[in-house]
Structure 1
Amino acid sequence: MSAQSTTVPSTENSLKGGFTQVILATLASTVGFWAWMAIAPLQKTYATEMGLDEGQISLMLATPVLVGALGRIVVGAMTDRFGGRKMFTFVLLLSIPAVLLVALAGSIKSFPLLLLAGFYLGVAGTIFAVGVPFSSAWFPPERRGFANGVFGMGMIGTAVSAFFTPRLAEAIGYFPTHLLIAALLLLMAVLSWFFLRESPVWQANDAKLIPKVVGALKLPVTWEMSFLYGIVFGGFVAFSTFLPKYLTTIYPDDVDAVGAGTRTALFAVAAVIARPIGGVLADRFGPKVIALISLAGIVTLAYVVGQQPPEGIVTGATFIFMAAAMGLGMGAVFAWIGPSTPKDKVGAVSGVVAAAGGLGGYFPPLVMGATYNAETNSYQLGLWLLVLVGAFALVVAGMLKDVGRKK
């Protein structure tokens, strides 16, 4: 069902139906992200039932992020070769056993098995690297910020996971909840196989994986965007996984597991809404200025969080605006990639940049766990590190060359 052509259609009519394809890809990504983040919403349950300490909890939360990050390099390059339809189906099907293994680990209360399951669960997080080249191919270069912004809304799967996973576990039970997630993965794999189709302008790239990735790494834009995306998306992933732990630790009398999940869901929704806005604004005004606004917002709001304000409106608003700033940055970075990258390297570059974003989300939970001050019940040192790194990224972004704006 994959569509290829030896000539590249240039008319808008040749890309008719692209928005529908991107929406379906976004739904597939949503389910993949839900599976990827299946462990984090129940971290307090695992910690209590398995007697985990701060370091073990941080490792448990970070492991799926690491594999999901590094796997994106391979999956992005494979998407250039095999196309989005096949790769969406493959990633979704491969994620099903991982979710079932998490269910088994939690049921028998085995921390080593949970770590192994979390490692495997990272496969679900690679789905993002499939959708970027797939979505980009369905839109002309000047609208790829919009296309990738819409696809990026699949991140709402983290909100779905944070909101529904603990509630489903309470309502229908722990094991049935994971069976439901596995069933949704299977359903989306079937829909992807039968209803997704490649853009008429897409052409398979049969270059070998390692030379392809090496070729992407030789491009300056790969390193530049990897660093920026490591801050904006990495920050989003880190807070999406660690926020339930953060809230129940810092505000134990005010926030329970379900309440923390609700707040984390709102955090994710804010980023999801802001991401396509960031892409559209980047198409209009240029990605550089949007990236600068994003990073300035992150730095400012991370400082506010570091002051550990009382739980309530200020705290909630701070996290929501921080998520929105991260979403704007995510949209800007991928709007920056499209016009700056050779067409045959978009998948490989996107995979590397997406991996960098995932890696950016891997280390903060470990750092937060390592810098936690039990005497003052504070993560202030870890948050200060975010402020410093964000400020450095702001300087770097200011020095980069913009790709211009839509005329």
Structure 2
Amino acid sequence: MNTVASSGIGARPGFNLALATWVSAINFWAWNMIGPLSTTYAGDMSLSSSEASMLVATPILVGSLGRIAVGPLTDRYGGRFMFILVTVASIIPVLAVGFAGEAGSYPLLLVFGFFLGIAGTIFAVGIPFANSWYDPSRRGFATGVFGAGMVGTALSAFFTPRFVGWFGTIATHVIIAIALALTAVLCVVAMKNSPTFTPNTDKVTPKLIAACKLRVTWEMSFLYAIVFGGFVAFSNYLPTYIKTIYDFSAVDAGTRTAGFAVAAVIARPIGGALSDRIPPKYVVLASLAGTAVTAFIATLKPPPDVWSATDFIAMAIFLGIGTGGVFAWVARRSPAKSVGSVTGIVAAAGGLGGYFPPLVMGATYDPVDNDYTVGLLLLVATALIALAYTALKLKTREPATDSAAGTPQPQEESK
């Protein structure tokens, strides 16, 4: 939408990146409002493991699929407009979920949780927005910093159960709704699009079709579905997992989940920055290998608190590094005019990767032995398959892409 002059705080890349990261964080908090309270809802409503898993997974599904459309719309209207739109559109669902939770209505929680997924589409806005403010050599850093907005899941895991205890369910959701409204106002007043932003007025459907024809779209979608999907799945389902396996309270489970999310958030920009210095392939390989190992260790049910915490925090670090590495790879390989479209599809795949694991964990839970071994072993197998594919099929360096015109440059090397 609006371009900016070369002076003033609104024209600074760092300021706009920081503001975009905050917008992402508060929307991620909103997106994760149900997860930290899922064990409370399950107890109050006598929900089965599968019903509780569906409650957690529904916002993830909508937030994922919605990114497919939001990415191309960001190409057309710019990040500033889309940040404002998504943030404002998330306010009513947050309030509605609060009233449904207070009423103890499982059907209403599912319905309003569906619309709560709007907040999760924010990620597809921020990646092209951050890319447009930085040169290609620093886009791994930029997307990694923006990705740190995932800290919103940690804030939600830590504070939401406490807020409910202090203020009540409805008041907690009102607080987050007000935070969303104030964030939207801040974007109106202070956020700017990059001076290099040029609206892409091509129709959305052809752009999505064109993005789907790119090999990079599907390869990065596959990898992102594992690393970001794993983060989303555990950020939302870990309170249930911890309470079930270790019998912690909802508040204590939320605290430990917050530690998991913070570790992943810190690791994400590290993965992006590393990918500016070494080929992202190596970053992603390390991430997948570490994820497989830590998921296998989790099947052994390490005792609380030191050993189990160490394992899950290590898993979070590997997943976080992988998310930063994958999106640095996306920024390098995608044609400039298709970044938003490719981002939307890849981000959707990441969200979908987080939709299915909670359902699988709930469906494969063994109440006799009180374990989730089958679900965790499926994660191990998936990570190992992705590890083999990345090592054997993906090139260390891809043909470079000109940031302005999207024209391929000479290839540096093969594998």
**TM-score in terms of structure 2 length:** 0.94
Counterpart of 2:269 (choices 272, 276, 281) is 276
The answer to whether residue 398 in structure 2 is matched with residue 400 in structure 1 is no
Q: What are the equivalent positions in structure 2 for 1:159-308 lying under 5 Å apart?
A: 159-252=154-247, 255-308=248-301
Equivalent pair of 2:11/2:194 in contact (CA under 8 Å): no
**Moved runs in structure 1, 4+ residues, more than 6 A?**
404-407
Q: Distance in 1 between matches of 2:279 and 2:148?
A: 20
Quick one: which amino acid aligns to residue 65 of structure 1? I
State the shift of 1:403 in Å: 2.8
1:314 aligns with 2:298: no
For 2:378 and 2:327, the matched residues in 1 are separated by 25
Once the 2 structures are TM-superposed, how far is the Cα of residue 195 of structure 1 from its aligned partner? Answer: 1.0
User: Is the 8 Å Cα contact of residues 336 and 403 (structure 1) preserved in structure 2?
Assistant: no
97, 101, 104: which is aligned to 2:92?
A: 97
Which residue number in structure 1 is paired with residue 366 of structure 2?
373
Q: Write the deviation string for residues 205-238 of structure 1: whole angstroms up to 9, x where unpaired.
A: 0111111111111000000000000000000000
1:60 corresponds in structure 2 to: 55
CA distance in 1, matches of 2:398, 2:298: 34
Q: Is this contact kept in 1: 2:18–2:146, CA < 8 A?
A: yes
Letter in 2 for 1:26: T
Letter of the aligned partner of 1:346 in structure 2?
V
Q: Secondary structure at the match of 1:126?
A: helix
**What is the distance in 2 between the residues matched to 1:236 and 1:29?**
16
Of 98, 103, 112, the match for 1:108: 103
Measure how far apart 1:16 and its partner are.
Answer: 6.0
Shift of 1:173: 1.0
The answer on whether the counterparts of 1:168 and 1:177 sit within 8 Å (CA) in structure 2 is yes
Alignment of 1:27 with 2:22, yes or no, is: yes
Q: Which residue of 1 aligns with 2:3?
A: 3
What secondary structure does 2:395 align onto?
A: coil
Deviation at 1:405, TM superposition (A): 11
User: CA–CA distance in 2 between the matches of 1:165 and 1:86?
Assistant: 28
SS of the residue 1:272 aligns to: helix
Give me the whole-angstrom Cα distance separating, in 2, the residues matched to 1:214 and 1:404.
Answer: 22
Letter paired with 1:135: A
CA distance in 2, matches of 1:4, 1:42: 42
Q: Secondary structure at the match of 2:296?
A: helix
Deviation at 1:192, TM superposition (A): 1.1
Q: What does residue range 41-60 of structure 1 map to in structure 2 within 5 Å?
A: 41-60=36-55
Task: Tell me, yes or no, if the aligned pair for 1:285 and 1:404 is still in contact at 8 Å.
Answer: no
Match of 1:382 in 2: 375
**Residue 402 of structure 1: how far off its partner (Å):** 2.5
Q: CA deviation at 1:108?
A: 1.1
Deviation at 1:312, TM superposition (A): 1.6
Q: Which residue of 2 aligns with 1:327?
A: 320
The aligned amino acid for 1:21 is: N
Please identify, of 188-197 and 294-303, the stretch whose mean Cα deviation from structure 2 is larger: 188-197
The residue identity in structure 2 corresponding to 1:163 is F
Contact 2:4 2:192 survives alignment (8 Å): no
- The one-letter code of the counterpart of 1:144 is R
**Aligned partners of 1:63 and 1:362 also within 8 Å:** yes
Query: Where does structure 2 lack aligned partners over 5 or more consecutive residues?
Result: 401-411
Tell me the amino acid that sits aligned with residue 2 of structure 1: N
CA contact (8 A) 2:11 2:192 kept: no
Q: Note the C-alpha offset of 1:291.
A: 0.4
TM-score (norm 1): 0.96
Q: Paired residue for 2:122?
A: 127
Contact 1:36–1:124, Cα closer than 8 Å, also in 2: yes
Q: Which moved more, 1:45-54 or 1:359-368?
A: 45-54
For residue 174 of structure 1, report the CA deviation from its aligned partner: 1.0
Per-residue deviation at 1:29? 0.4
Q: Quote the Cα distance in structure 1 between the aligned partners of 2:296 and 2:98.
A: 38
**Offset at 1:404?**
6.3
Cα RMSD after superposing both structures:
1.8
Aligned equivalents of 1:257, 1:342: Cα separation in 2: 45
Q: Which moved more, 1:228-237 or 1:40-49?
A: 40-49
Q: Which residue of 2 aligns with 1:148?
A: 143
Tell me the distance in 1 between the aligned counterparts of 2:4 and 2:269: 28
| Separation in 1, partners of 2:261, 2:399 | 28
What amino acid does structure 2 have at the position aligned with 1:236?
F
Give yes or no for contact 2:333–2:399 (8 Å, CA) kept in 1: no
Q: Report how far residue 4 of structure 1 moved.
A: 7.4
1:142 is displaced (CA, Å) by 1.1
Distance in 1 between residues matched to 2:275 and 2:298, nearest whole Å: 27
Aligned pairs, number: 399
Contact 2:26 2:152 in 1 (8 A): yes
TM superposition shift of 1:401: 1.2
Q: Secondary structure at the match of 2:90?
A: helix
